[in-house]
Structure 1
Amino acid sequence: MRAEPGDRFKPLPLEAQTLLTEGNTIEAIKSLRLSHGLGLKEAKDWVEAHIAQNPILRVQLEAQRRESRRKGLLAFFFVDAVLVAAIVWYFFFKP
């Protein structure tokens, strides 16, 4: 079942919409590729067009991306703090 070029501007299938609202953009693209026989570029363009047409979804996805970046940054700082503490202990407090 091959999709026509104009299909990407039609509403997304329910499964892809659900994945997008959960923040799984990559999974939504994979779902479109499998269900409609699209290439990566066509599926990505269709998802991006859907996001561009839905400002609430765009804001929701941006908020989820910011939150995941924040969590990643906090994890990075935590690991750095543990490493610094280990180095300080090794050089200054090791018996």
Structure 2
Amino acid sequence: MSAAGRDFPPEARAALDAGRLIEAIKIVRETHGLGLAEAKAWVEAEREAPGTAAPAAGRSDDELPAAARAALAGGRVIDAIKIVRTERGLGLKAAKELVDRHVARSGTPIGHAAPGERQSALVWLLLLAVLVAGGAWVIFGG
């Protein structure tokens, strides 16, 4: 039994012992429902020190990476899905479903910044207005 309370699948152990790393990763993913990166890390650690490695714990399966949440706040749904696919090792359908669940659960419409993020945009707009006014003064009023 691993530290996270999960057994390394015997079929994956057999594949690993036979030098079939990809097959072992696939078995671990299917058996425990892990993402590609997590399964790969567990299999590689198991190959180095059998019985001592465990899959990553402490993360909710519905939790989006910070970069994906930022992309959603900026209205970039496709970017958020790409980030989830890359970081979680999911297929397109699973990544989209995860992003959709996050949007439905959070209640924040796509493209709306979380509190505190909007203030930054206001500062940039104010700076742009000052620069435009200063440029106009130099060109026309100098």
TM-score by length of 2: 0.36
Cα separation, 2, equivalents of 1:32 and 1:25: 11
Shift of 1:57: 3.0
1:31-50 mapped onto 2 (5 Å cutoff): 31-50=83-102
**What are the residue-to-residue correspondences of 1:12-91 with 2, within 5 Å?**
12-58=64-110, 60=112
Q: Give the C-alpha shift of residue 19 in structure 1.
A: 0.4
Which residue of structure 2 aligns with residue 91 of structure 1?
none
The sequence identity of aligned pairs, in percent, is 39
CA distance in 1, matches of 2:79, 2:111: 19
CA gap of 1:58–1:24, structure 2 versus 1, over 3 A, is closer
Count of residues in Structure 1 that have an aligned counterpart in Structure 2: 57
Provide, for residues 22-76 of structure 1, a one-character-per-residue CA deviation record: whole Å limited to 9, x for no partner: 0000000001111111000110000000000111235849xxxxxxxxxxxxxxx
The alignment's C-alpha RMSD in Å is 2.4
CA distance in 1, matches of 2:76, 2:108: 16
Work out the CA distance in 1 between the residues paired with 2:91 and 2:73: 22
Q: Structure 1 residues 12 and 45, CA, compared in 2 at 3 Å: closer, same or farther?
A: same
Please give the TM-score of this superposition, normalised by the length of structure 1: 0.52
Q: Distance in 2 between matches of 1:36 and 1:57?
A: 23
Larger radius of gyration between Structure 1 and Structure 2: 2
Q: Secondary structure at the match of 1:56?
A: coil
> Which of 1 and 2 has higher RCO (CA within 8 Å, sep 6+)?
1
* Residues 2 and 39 of structure 1, relative CA distance in 2, 3 Å threshold: farther
Q: Give the direction of change, closer, same or farther, for the CA distance of 1:13–1:59 in structure 2 (3 Å limit).
A: closer
CA distance in 2, matches of 1:45, 1:32: 10
